[in-house]
Amino acid sequence: MGAISKDGLEIAKRAREIVREKIKDVLGEKIKNFSKEELLIIERVVHATADPEYAKLLVFKNNPIYHGVKAIKEGKPIITDVNMVKAGIRYDKTYCFIDDERAYELAKQGITRAVASMRLAKEVIDGGIVVIGNAPTALLELINLINSGIKPKLVIAVPVGFVKASEAKEMIRNTDVPSISTIGPKGGSSVAVAIANGIIALSKNERV
């Protein structure tokens, strides 16, 4: 997972074994309900958080890995809600509009900058991949865009928090759009980046 030294490789190998054991413990018999690729994404998230509960929380809806991998292979853009998520994703065509001047302007109308950034990204989102690790309001705005006809290839929807995040994630799961999301309030930038980099690695046939 990016480790290039001998030390790094050894840590990565042992960590992977432990992560797999923890996931088995959490999922039990239900591990059979996941594809090999889905389990690789789950491993990435548990690795990034040291929180095996994510094995129970992650939901793969509408064949998201297939669509995400295809989008990356076709060179489609990734749009993130915040710069921290952008910084973690290992893919050149990754964009974030939250610091765009126009986002500051739009925010004066009483919306969050996260919402503004989604509106600004509308055309790039159509046919692209959206990664939301932070702002529930960004996800709600994305759902508005989807309802108005915008079609992202994949939405990685893991905004975090005790207010609106669970509901927004439930709403994206109720659309036809391929999504990877979490049940409940947990999520965050580290989770979002782990999933996105997993999809990118799968698109390169890398061992994720």
Residues that bind a copy of itself (CB under 8 A): 3-8, 11, 14-15, 18-19, 22, 47-51, 82-84, 86-88, 107, 110-115, 136-137, 160-165, 184-190, 193
Instruction: Show the beta-strand stretches assigned E in the chain.
Output: 58-61, 78-80, 94-96, 129-132, 154-157, 179-182
Nearer to a copy of itself, 128 or 188 (CB): 188
Nearer to a copy of itself, 48 or 145 (CB): 48
Alpha-carbon distances of 87 from 7, 59, 129, rounded to whole Å: 25, 24, 16
Instruction: Kindly name the residue from 47, 67, 119, 186 that is annotated as catalytic.
Output: 47
Euclidean distance between CA atoms 64 and 58, whole angstroms: 12
Q: How far apart are the first and last CA of the chain?
A: 7
3 state SS of 198? helix
What are the tokens at 204? 């390169």
DSSP string, 14-58: HHHHHHHHHHHHHHGGGGGGS-HHHHHHHHHHHHHH--TTHHHHE
Nearer to a copy of itself, 119 or 186 (CB): 186
Query: Per DSSP, what are the bridge partners of residue 79?
Result: 95, 130
Active site annotation includes 47: yes
Please identify every residue annotated as catalytic: 47
